[in-house]
Amino acid sequence: MKHTKIKELLSSDGAKTGVVAKGWVRTFRNSQFVALNDGSTINNIQCVVDFANTPEDTLKRITTGAAISVMGDLVESQGAGQKWEIQVKSLEILGDSDAEKFPMQPKRHSLEFLRANAHLRVRTNAFGAIMRVRSVLAYAVHKYFQDKGFVYVNTPIITGADAEGAGEMFQVTALDLNNLPKDENGYINYKEDFFGKHTNLTVSGQLEGETFAMALGQIYTFGPTFRAENSNTARHLAEFWMIEPEVAFNDLDDNMDLAEDFIQYVIKYTMERCQDDLKFLDQRLADEEKQKPQDQRSDMTLLEKLKFVLENNFKRVSYTEAIDILRDSTPNKKKKFQFPIDAWGADLQSEHERFLVEKHFKCPVILYDYPANIKAFYMRLNEDGKTVRAMDILFPGIGEIVGGSQREERYDVLVEKMKVLGIDEEELWWYLDTRRFGTAVHSGFGLGFERLVLFVTGMTNIRDVIPFPRTPQNAEF
């Protein structure tokens, strides 16, 4: 018999006879009240079991985590907190769950414990909510760009190019490491590898994306990217998903406008569609905040923070202005920064970004026009000869969420820069072709998807917003 999703049952517009629900038992009280969840919503449906007429053996098997199927009537609930419940007429145990052994008992588990059980943590309220929010956010990303006529491009994951320098790379090989083919000089002979050369996992699809933007006009990527850096922090993953739009004829101002509009859209879309999940996560964060000393608590709740981002323009500040603000700031004068700011040209550290966003401006900030020598080779050089048309978007509690730039479209300037940095022109012949044939102003940015999910869910460790996190010493599942 066809079952109905619990989300549908809970939003029914009337009583119904003979409904079937299937799901997993969250709790079972008084041998009578089953809280049943099927993942379609964070809310459970209460199933009232006729315990007098249910075999003792069946009642015993209604344990947390068991899969059951119930048939009965959907009626108005007498209890508080739910409009509808099921008066059960028949109940079937589909799959048992040994109460002694099932790790996800209805109590508070540590996030560390839940990470070690990433295959089961999604059966908790919090992780069910996070994963549904993540999914809706991902869809909002596609919807935003597709509605604007952007073309989704799957740039390669395995790449022979390693010139971008965005970070340490993982190597990909089909060679037998216990029996490596060597050349006459004793070096590994990559000609015998699958691709006939040394290959890595991509750190960014930007360069390939640019070639498509220079034909299709507006494109975006949304795929996994990788860093082999030994960063054991709450903000870094070895494998994460990145969104990279690239637009022909856009300058840096257009790029900032796009990024701001995009972020506001996807947050708004998700707030409208994930109300129950976000309400739960809002409460979860509020409970967590209560554990903190008063002066470390956030001024705003999660939902207030999200609304704030929607309703306020991001503050646009040049790097040079930011340096002035930081140099004159109290923490700098009182030597509270680990890296004191005394001269133009310094790379901004997390502590500086947090000061600007959380203390000084108290809103999302777009920093732009950075010194050329702390940014990537492909960023467009300004007339001053020392800054480039880069922009980073900084979010409260998250830090950098977007990094982007107007690209250097001038062939000669780009080649000169590559020479200075020792980047091989021959390896990037195809990238340079975009500047050889019909070059034009263009811009783009990269947004780390998990950092966005962190912000929207109010979680604080990036390992908790991706199904199976990959970090140093951890590739379980």
Query: What residues from 43 to 62 belong to the interface with a copy of itself (CB under 8 A)?
Result: none
Please report how close the Cβ of residue 473 comes to a copy of itself at its closest, in angstroms.
4
Give the closest residue to 19 by CA, choosing from 32, 30, 27, 38: 38
Q: Does 361 bind a copy of itself (CB under 8 A)?
A: no
Near a copy of itself by CB under 8 A: residue from 9, 10, 23, 399: 23
Q: Of 107 and 436, which has the nearer Cβ to a copy of itself? A: 436
Please report how close the Cβ of residue 177 comes to a copy of itself at its closest, in angstroms.
5
CB atoms within 10 A of CB 316: 15
Q: Does 339 bind a copy of itself (CB under 8 A)?
A: no
How is residue 107 annotated by DSSP? Answer: S
- The one-letter code for the residue type at 327 is R
Q: Of 212 and 370, which has the nearer Cβ to a copy of itself? A: 212
Near a copy of itself by CB under 8 A: residue from 73, 162, 239, 289: 239
Please report how close the Cβ of residue 33 comes to a copy of itself at its closest, in angstroms.
18
Listed in sequence order, the residues at least 6 apart from 416 whose beta carbon sits closer than 8 Å to its beta carbon are: none
Return the residues of window 374-433 that contact a copy of itself according to CB under 8 A: 409, 430-431, 433
Binding mask 161-200 for a copy of itself (x = CB under 8 A): x------x-xxxxxx-xx-x------xx-----xxxx-x-
Q: Do 418 and 216 meet the contact criterion of CB atoms below 8 Å apart? A: no
- Contacts with a copy of itself by CB under 8 A: the residue count is 107
Unique residue bearing structure tokens 């099932």? 102
Q: Do 47 and 88 meet the contact criterion of CB atoms below 8 Å apart? A: yes
Give the closest residue to 420 by CA, choosing from 370, 376, 371, 390: 376
Mode of pairing for the β-strands spanning 67-76 and 399-406: unpaired
Near a copy of itself by CB under 8 A: residue from 241, 262, 314, 368: 241
Tokens encoding 121: 């943590």
Q: What angle do CA 358, 359, 362 make, to 5 degrees?
A: 55
Return the residues of window 202-221 that contact a copy of itself according to CB under 8 A: 208, 211-212, 214-218
Q: Where are the beta strands (DSSP E) in 229-379?
A: 239-248, 315-318, 365-371
Near a copy of itself by CB under 8 A: residue from 29, 83, 101, 107: 101
Which helix (H) or strand (E) segment is 275 a member of? helix 275-290
Near a copy of itself by CB under 8 A: residue from 65, 72, 403, 446: 65
Tokens encoding 49: 């079991």
Q: Of 384 and 424, which has the nearer Cβ to a copy of itself? A: 424
Q: Do 247 and 258 meet the contact criterion of CB atoms below 8 Å apart? A: yes
Please report how close the Cβ of residue 95 comes to a copy of itself at its closest, in angstroms.
3
CA count, 13 A, side-chain hemisphere, 279:
8
Number of residues that make up the chain = 477
Q: Of 132 and 352, which has the nearer Cβ to a copy of itself? A: 132
Near a copy of itself by CB under 8 A: residue from 167, 224, 340, 371: 224
Near a copy of itself by CB under 8 A: residue from 9, 10, 19, 24: 24
Give the closest residue to 207 by CA, choosing from 440, 392, 430, 437: 430
Return the residues of window 102-161 that contact a copy of itself according to CB under 8 A: 102, 104, 118-120, 122-123, 128, 131-132, 134-136, 138-139, 142, 146, 149-161
**Which residue stretches of 341-386 are H helix?**
350-354
Q: Of 217 and 340, which has the nearer Cβ to a copy of itself? A: 217
Q: What angle do CA 130, 394, 351 make, to 5 degrees?
A: 105
Q: Of 158 and 420, which has the nearer Cβ to a copy of itself? A: 158
Please report how close the Cβ of residue 58 comes to a copy of itself at its closest, in angstroms.
15
Q: Of 55 and 149, which has the nearer Cβ to a copy of itself? A: 149
Return the residues of window 243-282 that contact a copy of itself according to CB under 8 A: 248-249
- Bridge partners of 73, per DSSP, are 87
Stretch of 20-28, 294-302, 343-351, 373-381 contacting a copy of itself, by CB under 8 A: 20-28
Residue 226, CA distances (Å) to 166, 246, 443 in order: 10, 20, 22
Please report how close the Cβ of residue 155 comes to a copy of itself at its closest, in angstroms.
6
